[in-house]
C-alpha cells in the first residue's frame, strides 16, 4: 500500500471546508457540494422513489441483480447528508456485490430527533419485505452514523420479531453517542475529518430529550443477541476506532458472527476514496465478499465466530 496515497488523503481532508459540528444548514450545503463534486460513473443510474412512506434513492450499475438488495444507510452525524449524497460509495459497494443499492433518506436531526432515523430505517426494511423480497436476499450497509443506525435498526427489528437480513456491513460506525471511547481523545491528533466536540454537538441534536447510553442510539450499549453476521471496518487514524472495537466486542459477547477489520493509518470512511487509495479498494472488495457469502446463508443466532483483525 502506498504511504503517499495515505498522506495525500490526510492532507486533502485536513483542508476540506466541512465543519461537522457547525451550523447545520451550512454543513449540509458544504457536505452536499463535496459529495457531488465528482460525477458518478456514466454507467451508474440513480432513481428517486419511496419504500412505503420513506424516501429512497435506488442505485444501479450494469452488474446489479434485481433479486439482491443492499439497504444502505448514509453518514452525516444524523444531521447532514442524504441518500443522494451517498450514491457514489453506494455504487462502489453495489458494483462489487452485483446488487442494487437502495439508499434510505431517513429524517435528520435536529428537526427530527431520535428515534426518527430508526423508525424510518425499520419502515424502509418492512416495505422491502412487503414487496416480496426475501430477507435472506437483503443485506444492510451503513457508513459512520449510518453504521450505528444499521446496528440499531437490527436491534429494533429483532425486538419487533421481524425477519433479519442476511448480513450487515458497517464502515467506521458511530456507535456511541456519549463519545466515551478512549480513541475520541487518543486519536484526535490523527483524525483529519472528525473532532469529539463536533460529534458531541451532533449527538445533542439527535438525542433531544433522550440522554445517556440509549441502546437504539448507541448500540455499543445494546443487547446484540440474535443479530445477523456483522462485518465492521474502521481506520486506525480515526476517533471512532474504539466505537468499532467495542461494537465488535459487544457482538462477540452476545454470540454474533462478527468480523472486525482495522485498516492501518487510514481515516474515517476511507472506503469513499477508492479512486485514490489502494486500501479503500481492497476494503470494498473484502466487504463485497462478506456480503455475497451471506446472501442466502441461514445461521443460528448462537453460532459465533471469533473477532478477527487485519494485520498492520
Instruction: Output the pLDDT for position 200.
Output: 95
Catalytic residues: 144, 238, 268
Cα atoms in the Cβ-side hemisphere of radius 13 Å centred on 150: 34
In whole angstroms, give the CA distance from residue 58 to residue 308. Answer: 32
pLDDT at 308 over 70: no
Question: Strand, coil or helix: what is 71?
Answer: strand
In the prediction, which pLDDT does 299 show?
A: 38
Secondary structure of residue 62 in the 3-state scheme: coil
| Range of weakest confidence among 22-26, 68-72, 220-224, 274-278 | 274-278
Q: Stretch 271-286: mean pLDDT, rounded?
A: 95
Q: Are 236 and 265 in contact (CB under 8 A)?
A: yes
Quote the pLDDT of residue 1.
58
213 pLDDT tier (thresholds 50, 70, 90): confident
φ, ψ for residue 226, nearest 5 deg = 85, 5
Phi and psi at residue 278, to the nearest 5°: -60, -40
Q: Where in the chain are the domains?
A: 3-293
142-166 average pLDDT score: 98
CATH class of segment(s) 3-293: alpha beta
What is the arithmetic mean of pLDDT over 244-258? 98
- Could you tell me the pLDDT band of residue 211, with boundaries at 50, 70 and 90? low
- The predicted structure's pLDDT at residue 309: 39
| Of 288, 285, 290, 294, residue with least CA distance to 97 | 288
DSSP 224: -
Measuring CA to CA, how many Å separate 184 from each of 6, 162, 172, 195?
21, 34, 13, 8
pLDDT class for 304, splitting at 50, 70, 90?
Answer: very low
Q: What is the DSSP letter of 41?
A: P
Give the pLDDT mean for 166-185: 97
CB 283 within 8 A of CB 214: no
Amino acid at each position: 500500500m502506498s504511504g503517499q496515497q495515505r498522506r495525500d488523503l490526510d492532507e486533502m481532508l485536513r483542508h476540506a471546508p466541512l465543519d461537522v459540528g457547525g451550523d447545520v444548514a451550512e454543513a449540509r450545503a458544504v457536505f452536499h457540494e463535496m459529495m457531488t463534486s465528482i460525477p458518478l460513473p456514466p454507467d451508474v443510474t440513480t432513481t428517486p422513489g419511496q419504500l412505503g412512506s420513506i424516501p429512497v434513492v435506488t442505485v444501479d450499475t450494469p452488474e446489479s441483480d434485481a433479486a439482491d438488495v443492499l439497504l444502505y444507510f448514509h453518514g452525516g452525524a444524523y444531521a447532514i447528508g442524504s441518500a443522494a449524497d451517498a450514491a457514489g460509495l453506494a455504487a462502489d459497494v453495489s458494483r462489487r456485490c452485483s446488487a442494487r443499492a437502495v439508499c434510505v433518506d431517513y429524517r435528520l436531526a435536529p428537526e427530527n430527533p431520535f428515534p426518527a432515523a430508526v423508525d424510518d430505517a425499520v419502515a424502509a426494511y418492512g416495505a422491502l419485505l412487503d414487496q416480496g423480497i426475501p430477507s435472506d436476499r437483503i443485506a444492510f450497509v451503513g457508513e459512520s452514523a449510518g453504521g450505528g443506525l444499521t446496528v440499531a435498526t437490527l436491534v429494533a427489528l429483532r425486538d419487533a420479531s421481524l425477519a433479519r437480513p442476511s448480513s450487515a456491513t458497517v464502515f467506521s460506525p458511530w456507535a456511541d453517542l456519549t463519545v466515551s471511547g478512549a480513541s475520541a481523545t487518543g486519536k484526535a491528533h490523527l483524525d483529519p475529518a472528525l473532532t469529539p466536540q463536533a460529534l458531541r454537538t451532533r449527538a445533542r441534536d439527535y438525542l433531544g430529550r433522550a440522554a445517556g447510553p440509549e441502546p437504539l442510539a448507541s448500540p455499543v450499549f445494546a443487547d446484540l443477541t440474535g443479530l445477523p453476521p456483522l462485518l465492521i471496518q474502521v481506520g486506525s487514524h480515526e476517533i471512532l476506532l474504539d466505537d468499532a472495537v467495542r461494537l465488535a466486542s459487544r457482538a462477540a459477547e452476545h454470540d454474533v458472527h462478527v468480523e472486525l477489520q482495522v485498516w492501518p493509518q487510514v481515516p474515517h470512511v476511507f472506503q469513499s476514496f477508492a479512486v485514490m487509495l489502494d486500501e479503500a479498494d481492497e476494503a470494498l472488495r473484502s466487504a463485497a465478499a462478506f456480503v455475497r457469502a451471506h446472501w442466502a446463508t441461514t445461521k443460528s443466532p448462537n453460532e459465533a465466530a471469533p473477532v478477527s483483525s487485519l494485520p498492520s
